[in-house]
Amino acid sequence: NIGFSTMVLTEEMNIQTIDEDEGTDLQTAAASFKARGLVRAMMVTGKALTGIMQSKASKKEFLKVAESCSVLIACRVSPMQKAELVRLVREGIKPTPVT
């Protein structure tokens, strides 16, 4: 995918995809990250992001997981979702990461 072709992602990374259609969720990603010591990356789909943005608790959990990642890729998201995600990350993670 684009993450590998741009060399943002590498084969050595622990990459978790949060995708409701495939049954993967935030809790699964968080548990996987705890179990492994590799550099972490997370990909989140627009559909999964819609669910995450529904509550403060899920936003908080998302930020907690995202903070432990070197890379966060949002795929199949609308421009509105992208703006909302950037705002969430900028307001929720300090120091402010590159978005």
3-state SS of the chain is: CHHHHCCCCCCCCEEEEECHHHCCCHHHHHHHHHHCCCCEEEEEEHHHHHHHCCCHHHHHHHHHHHHCCCEEEEECCCHHHHHHHHHHHHHHCCCCCCC
Residue 97 falls inside a structural domain: no
**Roughly how many angstroms between the first and final C-alpha of the chain, as a whole number?**
19
Residue 10 falls inside a structural domain: yes
Residue 99 falls inside a structural domain: no
pLDDT score of 72:
92
Residue 49 falls inside a structural domain: yes
pLDDT score of 84:
95
pLDDT score of 97:
75
Task: Evaluate if pTM is beyond 0.75.
Answer: yes
Domains of the chain: total: 1
Token pair belonging to 28: 């699964």
Domain of residue 13, residue span: 2-92
